[in-house]
Every structure is written in structure tokens, then in C-alpha cells.
Amino acid sequence: MTSRGFIRLSMAFIAVLLSASCLLRDPFTDSIPTAPPPGSFQPVPDGPSLDVLVLGDWGTGGDGQRELGESMARTHAASPPAFVMTVGDNFYPDGVTSPDDPLWKSHFEEMYVGPFWEEMTFQGILGNHDYHGNPDAQVEYSEYSTRWSMPARYYSLKEQMPAGGSVLFLALDTDPIAKKEPRAVRQREWADSVLRRTEADWVVAGGHHPVATGGWHKPEGTVKTALWPLLGARVDVYLAGHNHSTELLNTQVGTFQAICGGGGGLDNPYRVRSTPFTLASFTNGGWCYLRFWEDVLAVELYDREGGLQFRHLIRK
């Protein structure tokens, strides 16, 4: 082989690696930070709340995903959330091909077992790795499993709070937005119409690609350009993954950005840094937890062992 041929082959190999960048990372040894003492957190209101657990980049099928699932069940056993919202990359390295794909059993049904999970519903959102398979198979699986719900590639969900009032959830499909596909225009028009009509007390949007982050993947500029004029100041929190870290950032436009991409635990963590907008960030696995009252929304960040690392209160 000539030197030029070797260079071409090497470059092709590097390109293949980069195409799977969601499973690559620089080596690091970040450990779980010490959780602050409980008394240091802002106190939450009295009375029952609507709780939602959020995780992304979770479908590895590995020990880290299983351990994180056990930790979530143990942490919230006394007061389970109303449902789980995923923020994409539900299956690695490629999405499922059909509702009968064996990955449904190995990466989902047999991964989250036990009393805590038996009645729990996962509200699915698509990620870029899910597009490596058949994304419509994840929509179709809603008819096969009582624990999986994805009515469409993007959809809305309205939930009532225990003491009255409601929360609107927008489940967005950001992969076509990131790729500037023409069909993304229709999705933005749909989201705008939903936001204009809603009378919900709180509005939360979820998508895979972040608009603000200190993680390995930089903020997705195309998604920010397309979504932020639509969501900014109209949505209380935008949930995302893509970076395998756990973060909360204040974007300074009236909408907070939560990164909940630690759902695979130690299977696939990324290094994370602080930015001028960062309120809290850590890696090596974790999840987000939202708690809604009539005039207070608590955003909580948990590490992979179930330690509450951070709580921020958003007030109406």
C-alpha cells in the first residue's frame, strides 16, 4: 500500500469512528461529587406535587443502565413519579428496526423490572441514534407495551397537578430540525400553534439536542436557531440529552435548559465543564426530576447513586 493509500484508509477509519461519536469520549476519571447536605437545598412547598423523572441517552443494554434503573427505583420508591420522559437515544448503537426487535426486550422490558417499574409509563422522545433504525417502530410499539407511549414522532401531553392546574409537555423530534429537513417546518408550526392555544400553568418542552450545554457535544446551533425564537420565554424548561451529562443552565431568556443525558450511567459518560450559564453540572450518570406545584417548579438533579446534587426552584 502506498503512503497516500494508507492516509486515505486512516482518514476513512477516523470518519467511521466520528460517525459514532455519541459512544466516544476522551478518557477521564471524574468521580461522583459529594452531595450537599439536605439542609442546604431550597425548601419546596407543602402539599402533593406532580412529579416527572427525565432521562436520556439510556438504551445501552449494559450494567450501567441497569444499575441506574435500580437506583431510580430505590430513590423514588416511596413517592413514584407520574411517568418517565425520555429525551432520546433510547437504543444504542442503532435504533430498533420493528416492534418485534429483540432490543425492546433486552434494553427496555427486562431492564426496568420490579414493583416500581411495573406500572410506570415511559413517554418516549427520539434521538439521533434512534434514527439509525426505524423511528416509526418506536411509535408502533405503543400498541404492544403498556409501559411505552409515543403517539407520534412529536406530540403534546397535558397532565393535571394534584392541587389543581395543569402542565403541558411538548415532545419534540429534533433530529430533522438539526438536519434542516423541510418537514421540520411543519413541526415548528405545530409547536407554535400548541403554545398559542395552551392555558397550562407550566410548559415544558423535551427534545434530544441541547441549545445550551457545557458537555462534549457543543450546543446544537441549528436547533437553537430554529427553536429558541419559538420556545424562549414561552417554555419554562427545555429538556435535552445528547451530552451524556447532567446539567442545569439559565439561558437568560426565561427558559431553563436541563441536560438529562446520564441515563446510561457508567456505560457512556462524557466530560462536562462549566459555562457562564451553568447552575450545576456533573457526569458519570444521573437523571433529572421535575416537581410541579401551582406556583413553584422544582428542578432536581440526581447522581447515579441517587444522591440529590442540586435543586433549583422556578417561581411563577
Q: Is residue 33 part of a domain?
A: no
Q: List, for residues 154-210, the tens digit of each pLDDT value.
A: 999 999 999 999 999 999 999 999 999 999 999 999 999 999 999 999 999 999 999
Q: Is residue 71 part of a domain?
A: yes
Domain range for 69 is 40-315
Return the C-alpha cell found at 59: 438504551
Q: Report strand pairing: 166-171 vs 155-160.
A: antiparallel
Closest by CA position to 61, among listed 305, 284, 265: 265
Total domains, the chain: 1
Return the C-alpha cell found at 4: 497516500
Q: Is residue 15 part of a domain?
A: no
Q: Is residue 35 part of a domain?
A: no
Residues whose CB falls within 8 Å of the CB of residue 92, separated by 6 or more in sequence, listed in order:
22, 23, 59, 60, 61, 129, 264, 268
Q: Is residue 298 part of a domain?
A: yes
Question: Crossing angle for the helix pair 184-197 and 221-231, nearest 10 degrees?
Answer: 30
* Type of residue at 196: R
Q: Which residues are registered as beta bridge partners of 249?
A: 257, 278
**pTM value surpassing 0.85:** yes
Q: Is residue 20 part of a domain?
A: no
Q: Is residue 135 part of a domain?
A: yes
CATH number, domain containing residue 179: 3.60.21.10
- What's the rounded Cα separation, in Å, for the pair 240 and 236? 13
What radius of gyration, in Å, describes the C-alpha atoms of the chain?
19
Closest by CA position to 154, among listed 133, 130, 132, 120: 130
Closest by CA position to 239, among listed 127, 121, 80: 127
Q: Is residue 265 part of a domain?
A: yes
Q: List, for residues 228-281, the tens digit of each pLDDT value.
A: 999 988 999 999 999 999 999 999 999 999 999 999 999 999 889 999 999 999
